[in-house]
Structure 1
Amino acid sequence: MSVKIAFASNDRRTVNQHFGAAGAFSVYELDEAGARLVEVAEFIETAMDGHEGKLAAKVGLLNGCAAVYCNAVGASAIQQLLVKGVQPMRVDEGALIEELLSGLQKCLVNDPPVWLAKHIKQQATSNRFAEDEEWQE
């Protein structure tokens, strides 16, 4: 079982961005064997003016991710992320992505936190229903 985890980062090494103002996200696929970078998305810089529409592209990009790590995240973004099943995770600026992934990998194998266990369960249920449906022409 693998999960996708996103990081608000403009250097691809550390978490160094506020969610709403993030210029880029690095998305990793994580499983028991390790992690691999699967996507880097960059955004055009916009002013932090409280305009809700600018969040839509960022929240949409994270569809299917279990979590997004960032330095800060506003209430509106938290609400939108949770509706999509993405757990917002606040960490200190400069937190190393490699270390966060390593810690998550250990949790994935041993004892996942509630939000991760829930995501894995939902993913398994979704996959099971997809397999149960037969394609007929």
Structure 2
Amino acid sequence: MGESTKITVESTGSIENAMKVAFATKDMETINAHFGGAKEFVVYNLGREGFELSNVVKTDTSKLNGDDKTDFKVKALKGVNIMYCESIGGTAAAKVIRAGINPMKVPEPRKIEAVLNELVAMVNGNPPPWVKRIMNIETTEDPRLARWAAE
């Protein structure tokens, strides 16, 4: 059977309403692994104030077959809100989505820190409704609110 190890990192835990973002990686610095082939995922807490390393999830599915590998990885990522990877198959993506994780593909390897900085900027700008829901951000600046209130 496969092995999953979660390495928790000592952090301040000071980020309010943080969402968990995981990255499939081979080097802990770059999004450069396929979901199914990733042996580790680095997980960050991310909020308006910034981001901090939460933990590293190491997954070894070499002794598992077929769908068991995907199911194993999805269970190991429980609690993650967004997962970035280089690629992911359709069946695996469906399982990830059903588990409440939003899969995001990058067309080419990207530095994790750059993506984290972009996410912080997005959260502090006008994040999409699904991100607001995850982070418990009130929608106060949406021009549709006045229209909805009038209905």
Structure 2 residue runs without a partner (length 5+): 1-16, 139-151
**Whole-angstrom CA distance in 2 between matches of 1:48 and 1:72:** 20
Match of 1:41 in 2: 57
> Which letter does structure 2 place at the counterpart of 1:6?
A
Q: Which whole-Å CA distance do the structure 2 matches of 1:48 and 1:76 have between them?
A: 17
Cα RMSD between the aligned structures?
2.2
Query: SS at 1:65's partner residue?
Result: coil
Structure 1 vs Structure 2: percent identity of aligned residues?
A: 32
The one of 70, 78, 81 equivalent to 1:66 is 81
Q: Which has the higher helix share?
A: 1
Question: Are the counterparts in 2 of residues 67 and 88 from structure 1 also a CA contact under 8 Å?
Answer: yes
Measured after TM superposition, the shift of residue 61 of structure 1 is 2.0
State the Cα deviation string for residues 40-85 of structure 1 (Å, max 9, x = none).
Answer: 1222253896x00111221112222111000000111111111111
Are the equivalent residues in 1 in contact too, given 2:44–2:54 (CA < 8 A)? yes
2:127 corresponds to 1:112: yes
Query: 2:30 corresponds to which residue?
Result: 14
Contact 1:66–1:87 (CA under 8 A) maintained in structure 2: yes
The one-letter amino acid of 1:120's match is M
Give 5+ residue unaligned stretches, structure 1: 125-137
Task: After TM superposition, give the deviation of residue 116 of structure 1 in Å.
Answer: 1.9
Distance, in Å, in 2 between the alignment partners of 1:41 and 1:23 is 8
Question: 1:92 corresponds to which residue?
Answer: 107
Q: Please name the residue that 1:54 is paired with.
A: 69
The higher radius of gyration belongs to 2
Could you list the runs of 4 or more consecutive aligned residues of structure 1 that deviate by over 6 angstroms after TM superposition? Answer: none
TM-score normalised per structure 2: 0.73
The CA deviation at 1:90 is 0.3
Amino acid at match of 1:98: E
1:5 and 2:58 matched: no
Output the TM-score relative to the length of structure 1.
0.79
Question: Structure 1 CA distance, aligned partners of 2:78 and 2:85?
Answer: 16
CA distance in 2, matches of 1:21, 1:91: 15
